[in-house]
Amino acid sequence: MLILILRRLGSMVLIMLVVSLILFAIFETDKLAVAGKVLGPYSSTEQREIWLEENGYNQPFFTRYVIWAGNAMRGDFGQSLQLKVPVSQVLWPRLANTGILALCLFAIMIPLSLFMGVLAGMKEGSFQDRAITVFSVLTTSIPEFASATLLTAVFVFGLGWLPGTSSMTAGFSFKELVLPVLVLLLYDFGYITRMTRASMAEVMNSQYIRTAILKGLPYQRVIMRHALRNALIAPFTVIVLQLNWLLSGVIVVEVFFAYKGFGKLLLDAALFGDIFVIEACTLVAVFVAVASQFISDIGYTYLNPRIRFS
Amino acid sequence: MNNQEQPVLDIKDLCISYYTRAGEIPAVVDFSLTVKPGETIGIVGESGCGKSTVAMAIMQHMGSNGGIKSGSIKFKGRDMTQMSDEELRQLRGSEVSMIYQEPFAALNPSLLLREQLMEVPLTHEDINREQAYERAREMLANVKLPDPDRIMNSYPHQLSGGQQQRVVIAMGLLSKPALLLLDEPTTALDVTVEAGIVKLIADISRKYGTSQIYISHNLGLILETCDRVFVMYSGEVVEEGTIDSLFTWPRHPYTHGLFGCIPLPTADKNAAPLKPIRGQLPLPHERPQGCYFGPRCDHFQAGRCDGDKVDIEHVTGSAEDHMVRCLRWQEIDHTKEAPGGEAKEAMELGGPVLEVNQMKKYYEVIDSSMKALISGDRVKYVKANEELNFNAREGETVAIVGESGCGKSTFAKVLMGLEGGTDGEIKHDGKDVSETLVRDRTDKQISSLQMVFQNPSDTLNPSQTIGGQISRVIKKFGVASDKDEVFNMVMKLLDTVKLPRDFYYRRPRQLSGGQKQRIGIARAFAGNPSTVIADEPVSALDVSVAAAVTELLMDIQRENKTTLLFISHDLSVVRYLSDRIVVMYLGHIMERGTTEEIFEPPYHPYTEALLSAVPIADPEVTKREILLEGNLPSVMNPPKGCPFCTRCPRRIGDICDNEMPPERQVTDTHRIKCHIPIEELQKVEPVIHVPAPEERLGKPEVPASTH
């Protein structure tokens, strides 16, 4: 187990190094273009060269990469071109905002979708199974912008219960979080529900569940003690990987509701050509992706004794 | 035991149907059975005959689409079909329990065995956890598991298959049930492990007075475990009776057919080949009028057997409960129904085709544990094959026998070139192929060495037609390239394996298991091989199908003078069809010789145990009982001396533990690797005693084997 964790950590570091190198090569091989982005389109070539010289850009590529990577590791990603503040000053609060969104979403979605999935998979082909499956396919197939429009029409303009934007200008407010969370929930819960359902249905058809039933155990114990743990091994991986999706995939929702999150920051930076922000955001996104993969691998191993003790 | 008058289980006129889109399918028809306290009932039949359905009906666990249509299942006088879910739940696991075919699948992979065992008494009785733990521990010791405490705290995958099955048996016995259902409990296990489990099951009914219903397709096992037997065919009982009466004087043509399909120790492939039952089991909705066995029966009489439904009746002159469902049982001359088909001519053996000299195959394994990392001793060798020596001649059948993990499949892999050998040589047609991988071999070499695999379903490409798959082989090996010529060759091959020609256009999923294996054989023989390796080719098939496929394989061999390497764990089949036998254990050849030499003393102690483990479906054949203790040692960590020393019942002392035994030569062809001198091994009594034909009670003269 320890060996496995160490090995995984090692490969995680390696992936980060490779990705950051590729990232750096894409954005900063063409030095003049970097200077052009920083100084603006009307700067002259001499001005750009002076800027390059001042900022140490005339050093060899790998030296620059090492310095850049070192700074990034200390949290120094340079200055945002659009906002004129250090990137780290905007990055972390934005990340925290998206984190809050994700936390609220997960707090509702995981118990709900696991419960629904187990309920559906418990009796394959029953009414409850079909109802849940149809409903979850339906919600998953509506794109986020469509459901966001629909929900806004109903709850903001129709009933007037909720605010239409979630920019949190007057400080943190739960009310403003409701619609973004709801949209994400509608989109994503069906996926986990169906994963859980499939896994649960497979477990319920397995021979050890038959053994448990024919041992005369009460039905509740068969489900809670024998089925659940095995049924949750597969969805666990999927759930952890949702973290990754949330970070980069919530752009639509954040833009729609003007929520100041990570996705919105990345989109704005991309539109403006704010290369240092893009670099920082990409690095963070890759880190989250690799880390969630790591957690899901280790967690899977831990949950499954067949792997744990072999 | 409780009330002797009242049967434990009384099934009357039970009809079970499955409800599918195609309509109602009657799976079991008019099934009646009584089980007295302490009695063991056997139910035997091929897959699809409804024997497992009966077991599931007794447990009242039929799935969503199955249902009991009529009849009653009375357990100690109470009708189970009328019970509520809660009443059933209280009965299951406490009064009636079940043992399953695949112990590994039957145990929950992510719960400790402690938990899975203890919950049985905790659910059904009013006891606390300490008492439950003690009970579970005690029961594990009773099913002869070593170190119960360690097993209590293990997960299922940490045990071997035999140990898992013992745990399942312990689980079933924990609350002292009155009835135990065993559904093919040893089918997934190795022969020597099977022998141990069978012994245990037989002891249980003696020790606890538990009644048992033992379901199996293996007549030999039924004979060893049961008091009475029910033969099922296509959903109904065709013959029932006590073991002695039914096995000695079978009266139903289907029962005769079953006996004709299994190689008895007296059978010989040339003098008395197996006699497969022709045709196939009818699907439940395609059952014929009258007698269901009619279309496959040699005694079928039109106008009589296809009339009204046939009733079961008492066999006059036989034991009281010997019943048969046949209109013509009194007219059939049962003395002519002895196993054994028409005699065939023995084959002449040609020159040597395959020579294996000092072949070794080691696997390198990197030990990634912390301990190995620190000590630096990371590379270990798994000695899968250690100095194999034998040869095979043209037209000869050489069997390689041993339990799983003995290295027989590894040898096949090296021979086929899927893996390279480590040392030594394998000469095939005079050329050393041991280090030539399959991709480096010429087409000629590949086509002359082909293989028939164990599981036919996994070896055929599901998305291509049968014809396409066989033609490809013919074209690939350059046997023919002209389109029409290839087509004709495929047709001829289909004829050879006795399949209809329009199978050319079918896909594997439209075929039954036996038909798929025939295609597998056709594929292997498409390139005119000189040697064919058959890796357990019939062990996944039903008895009657297996007999037909075995016969087919040997007919083709006879015709083509093919050398056959037959890999198997089933000694009765091996005894029947092979000319010479190689017995392997833990990568070593322990004994090799002609079939007669292997089956008669002197034996290697391991061969002796293997012979004793073979179930024989003949009540007049007696065997000496030799049970092996313990498990097969790990190949990662084999014993220092003789590989068999950890389980050997004839261990003579420290020399066995510390020194590799010498290979002793008994005759020119017979070698034994053992420390015990040949003279002493010679004094051992034969394991299997077959009475002389004239001493036999029931069965008429069995054609004598040729030795």
Tens-digit pLDDT profile for residues B648-696: 888 888 888 888 888 888 888 898 988 988 888 888 888 888 887 777 7
In a domain, A79, yes or no: no
- Closest by CA position to B472, among listed B454, B493, B457, B458: B493
A151 and A183 share one domain: yes
Beta strands in B394-529 (DSSP E): 397-401, 423-428, 431-432, 449-452
- Residue B673 C-alpha, separation from nearest chain A C-alpha, in angstroms: 34
- Is the model's pLDDT at B4 over the cut of 60? no
- At A177 the pLDDT is 85
Q: Would you state the structure tokens that stand for residue B56, as one six-digit string?
A: 């599931």
Does residue B584 contact residue B592 with C-beta atoms inside 8 Å?
no
CB nearest A208 (choices: B107, B124, B370):
B107
DSSP-based helix, strand, coil % in chain A, nearest 5: 80, 0, 20
- For residue B371, the chain A residue with the least C-alpha distance is A3
Contacts of B12 (CB under 8 A, 6+ apart): B32, B71, B72, B74
A166 and A259 share one domain: yes
DSSP state of B587: T
Q: Using CA of residue B297, residue B299, residue B304, residue B309, what is the dihedral sign?
A: negative
Q: How far is CA B518 from CA A172, A182, B655, in A?
A: 73, 59, 49
CA angle B192, B196, B198 (to 5 degrees): 110
CB contact under 8 A, B110 and A230: yes
Dihedral (Cα; A135, A137, A140, A145), 10-degree rounding: -80
B111 reaches A (C-beta below 8 A): yes
- For residue B175, the chain A residue with the least C-alpha distance is A215
Place A14 in a pLDDT band, splitting at 50, 70 and 90: very high
A240 and A109 share one domain: yes
A151 and A259 share one domain: yes
CB contact under 8 A, A208 and B94: no
CB nearest A214 (choices: B59, B124, B157):
B59
Place of tokens 């030095």: A31
Q: Would you state the structure tokens that stand for residue B194, as one six-digit string?
A: 């099977």
A107 and A33 share one domain: no
- Structural domain harbouring A58: 2-73
A39 and A135 share one domain: no
- For residue A228, the chain B residue with the least C-alpha distance is B110
B64 reaches A (C-beta below 8 A): yes
Of the residues A18, A43, A73, the one at which a domain ends: A73
- How much is the average pLDDT of B510-526? 86
CA gap B464, B473 in Å, rounded: 13
Other CB atoms within 10 A of residue B112 CB: 16
**Least confident span in A101-110, B315-324, B544-553, B556-565:** B315-324
Q: Would you state the structure tokens that stand for residue B313, as one six-digit string?
A: 């009746």
In a domain, A162, yes or no: yes
Q: For B100-117, what is each residue's pLDDT tens digit?
A: 888 888 999 888 999 999
More confident residue, B463 or B264: B463
Element holding B34 (H helix, E strand): strand B23-35
Give the best residue of B108, B111, B115, B167 to mutate against chain A (max A CB count within 10 A): B108
Of the residues A73, A96, A124, the one at which a domain ends: A73
- Closest by CA position to A247, among listed A275, A287, A199: A287
- At A201 the pLDDT is 92
Chain A residues near residue B370 by CB distance under 8 angstroms: 2-3
Q: For chain A, what is the domain count?
A: 2
**pTM (two decimals):** 0.81
- Residue A202 C-alpha, separation from nearest chain B C-alpha, in angstroms: 13
Question: What percent of chain A is modeled with pLDDT above 70?
Answer: 98
In a domain, A80, yes or no: no
- Is the model's pLDDT at B361 over the cut of 60? yes
Q: For B416-462, what is each residue's pLDDT tens digit?
A: 888 888 888 888 888 888 788 888 888 888 888 888 888 888 888 88
**Least confident span in A91-105, A137-151, B630-644:** B630-644
Residues 211-250 of A with CB under 8 A from B: 211-218, 221, 225-226, 229-230, 233
CB contact under 8 A, B97 and A215: yes
A194 and A240 share one domain: yes
Of the residues A39, A73, A107, the one at which a domain ends: A73
- How much is the average pLDDT of B562-586? 88
CA gap B632, B618 in Å, rounded: 30
In a domain, A198, yes or no: yes
In a domain, A310, yes or no: no
CATH classification of the domain holding A245: 1.10.3720.10
Q: How far is CA B474 from CA B401, B471, B478, B495, B528, in A?
A: 31, 5, 6, 16, 9
In a domain, A28, yes or no: yes
A199 and A246 share one domain: yes
Element holding A249 (H helix, E strand): helix A233-249
Per DSSP, the residues of B139-197 read: HHHHTT-S-HHHHHTS-GGGS-HHHHHHHHHHHHHTT--SEEEEESTTTTS-HHHHHHH
- Closest by CA position to A181, among listed A73, A104, A267, A280: A104
- State how beta strands B431-432 and B423-428 pair: antiparallel
Beta strands in B474-546 (DSSP E): 531-535
B187 reaches A (C-beta below 8 A): no
CB nearest B98 (choices: A214, A221, A233):
A214
Q: For A63-72, what is each residue's pLDDT tens digit?
A: 888 888 888 8
- At B704 the pLDDT is 39
A61 and A134 share one domain: no
Place B316 in a pLDDT band, splitting at 50, 70 and 90: confident
CA gap B170, B103 in Å, rounded: 12
Chain A residues near residue B109 by CB distance under 8 angstroms: 208, 230, 304-306
- For residue B174, the chain A residue with the least C-alpha distance is A215
In a domain, A31, yes or no: yes
CB contact under 8 A, A217 and B105: no
Plot region of B586 (φ>0 → left; ψ -120 to 50 → alpha; else → beta): left
A66 and A157 share one domain: no
A208 reaches B (C-beta below 8 A): yes
In a domain, A309, yes or no: no
CB contact under 8 A, A208 and B106: yes
- Residue A111 C-alpha, separation from nearest chain B C-alpha, in angstroms: 22
* SS3 sequence of B327-373: CCCCCCCHHHHCCCCCCCCCCCCCCEEEEEEEEEEEEEEECCCHHHH
- Residue B650 C-alpha, separation from nearest chain A C-alpha, in angstroms: 34
CB contact under 8 A, B110 and A305: yes
Chain A residues near residue B124 by CB distance under 8 angstroms: 216
Contacts of B255 (CB under 8 A, 6+ apart): B231, B238, B239, B246
A45 and A182 share one domain: no
- Is the model's pLDDT at B2 over the cut of 60? no
A239 and A282 share one domain: yes
Element holding B13 (H helix, E strand): strand B9-20
CA gap B545, B498 in Å, rounded: 13
- How much is the average pLDDT of A24-38? 82
Q: How far is CA B156 from CA A297, B133, B166, B180, B542, in A?
A: 22, 17, 11, 22, 29
- How much is the average pLDDT of B240-251? 88
More confident residue, B566 or B21: B566
